Amino acid sequence: MSAVDADLGALVWGVRLVLVVSLVAVLGLLWSIWRSAVRPVLLELRRSRHAGDWWAPWVPREDGSWGPLTDNRWWAEFRARERGERSALAVRWGVWGGVALVLGVGCVAAAAAAVVGVVAVWV
C-alpha cells in the first residue's frame, strides 16, 4: 500500500466521519422540531379523548393555566374563555392537526432523505 492510498483511505474515512456527525445533527434538529410541535398536539388529542372534552386544550385549566397549545402569546389566539360553537372547535383542531401533519410528515421525509443521502455518499 502506497502513501497515496493511505492518504486517500484516511480522507474517505474523514468524509464519512463528517457525514455521520452531520447526520446526527440533522436528526437531532428534526427530533426537536417534532418534539416541540407534533408531540404536544398528539398528547392534547389523547388527553381530550380520555377526558371526553374536546375543548380541554383550548379552555383554561382548573388552576387558571393554559395548555401547551395556547400557553404563549403567539398561540393565544387559540384560547377560549368558555366552550363555544362546533365550528370554532373544528377550526382550532383543524389548524393544529394540519400543523402536526405537515411537520410530522416533513420531519420523517427529511430524516429519510438525510439517511439516503449519507448512504449514497458512503458507498
Residues of the chain below pLDDT 70: 1
57 contacts 47 by C-beta, under 8 angstroms? yes
Longest dimension (CA), the chain: 77
> Across all residues in the chain, what is the average pLDDT?
92
Would you say the C-alpha torsion 88, 94, 97, 98 has a positive or negative sign?
negative
For residue 79, give its domain range.
3-122
Per residue in 36-50, pLDDT tens? 999 999 999 999 999
Domain count, the chain: 1
